[in-house]
Amino acid sequence: MTQFVDLSHSLDSKMSTYPGDPKFSCCPALTIEKDEVNVQSLSLGTHSGTHIDAPYHFFQDGQTVDNIMLSCCKAPVFVVDVTSKQPRERVSWADISALEDDLRDAISQGAMVLFQTGWSKYWGREAYFHHPFLDGEVARRLVDMGVQFIGIDTLSPDETHPEAQESVEMDFTVHKILLSANVVIAENLTNLEEIRHGRWVACIAPLKISGADGSPVRAFAWREL
């Protein structure tokens, strides 16, 4: 028997969207009443909902989403619990250093590392923008261990500023460290508490969009009971 857990938020007009990104819409284009079929028109950004970032997101010569190896999008899961963190609090290496040996072992076996802040409970609310975020040292150490895929249940592994971006100096240290090492980043995951224990495998695969910097995904995990 196989148990499945959905790690994706639904795409809808009420969902949380990164400041400045395109809004989501899904509108009827054809209807059964008029055209005998239902077809809908989608408008969204490459970072809408639960999605992944490809290196091209920050680097002009970086790998685009259609060239990401599918082998790194399906992998065992190692969930790091940082739910003790408060709004806008930094997750430092000291917070997770006790897991270093376990992380190294999991990464050597090809595991994706997923950070559970618990912030997915605020999805669609103002509080979602005030999430904890990773320190650059965390990213550097995981890269040194050979990680290929990192995920988090927030808008970003870096700090998010809901204010107008023009008035705030943005810091994308974690993005730049990871993407420069060709590490794939998944954002806006959910239900990570359900896969924290036990042997889980996750699939977080992008749409094959030519030349794109990111893509929405349907992320899910499973284990054999």
The C-alpha angle 156, 187, 105, rounded to 5 degrees, equals 100
Residue 13: what pLDDT? 92
Question: Per-residue pLDDT tens for 87-110?
Answer: 999 999 999 999 999 999 999 999
Enumerate residues 6+ apart whose C-beta is below 8 A from 81.
Answer: 116, 196
pTM of the predicted structure, to 2 decimals: 0.95
Residue 166: what pLDDT? 54
Question: Per-residue pLDDT tens for 189-223?
Answer: 999 999 999 999 999 999 999 999 999 999 999 99
Query: Residue 28 forms beta bridges with which residues?
Result: 40
Q: For the stretch 21-57, what's the b/e string if a residue is b when 16 or more beta carbons lie within 10 angstroms of its beta carbon?
A: eeebeeeeeeeeeeeeeeeeeeebbbbbbbbbbbbbb
Question: Per-residue pLDDT tens for 152-184?
Answer: 999 999 999 887 555 567 789 999 999 999 999
Question: DSSP states of 200-220 as a string?
Answer: -EEE--B---TT-SEEEB--E
Residue 170: what pLDDT? 79
Alpha carbons 99 and 45: distance in angstroms, whole number: 35
- 113 touches 80 (CB < 8 A): yes
Q: CATH classification of 2-8+46-224, choosing from 1.10.10.10, 3.20.20.450, 3.50.30.50, 3.40.50.300?
A: 3.50.30.50
H helices of 73-183, where? Answer: 93-96, 100-108, 136-145, 173-180
Residue 188 confidence (pLDDT) above 70: yes
How do strand 184-187 and strand 25-30 relate by DSSP bridges? unpaired
